[in-house]
Amino acid sequence: MALTNKQRQVTDISVWLMRYYQILTGCVKPRSYKFGRYLEIQDVDAVKRLFRSRVKITKMVVLNDTVTTLAQETAALATMKILERRFANKSNYEK
């Protein structure tokens, strides 16, 4: 399914509506908590370890971007540089 609108339109269906519809109709398949990783964007060492790991079983990474101090902001910028190097090329969805 391709998204045709670059910005949300009045006629677009909310992702949340679809999720709740799937729950109500029984179309949800629970996944293991090991499916992905949850990291804080300012935890530069954890991000480095994730990409240094030789085992590539992580399918999804969630980066929480709650930054409240200057030190956390500096660390978050370091994480962003790591991500920019790791994912230098845009995906098909970003072009």
pLDDT in tens, the chain (95 residues): 455 677 777 788 888 888 899 999 999 888 877 788 889 999 999 999 888 876 667 788 889 988 889 999 999 999 999 999 988 888 887 76
Range(s) of the domain holding residue 44: 32-87
Within-domain flag for 66: yes
∠ CA(87), CA(90), CA(95), 5° rounding?
170
Within-domain flag for 40: yes
Q: Say if residues 67 and 76 touch (Cβ distance below 8 Å).
A: yes
Within-domain flag for 59: yes
∠ CA(41), CA(29), CA(27), 5° rounding?
120
Within-domain flag for 94: no
Provide the whole-model pTM: 0.61
Q: Total domain count for the chain?
A: 1
Within-domain flag for 9: no
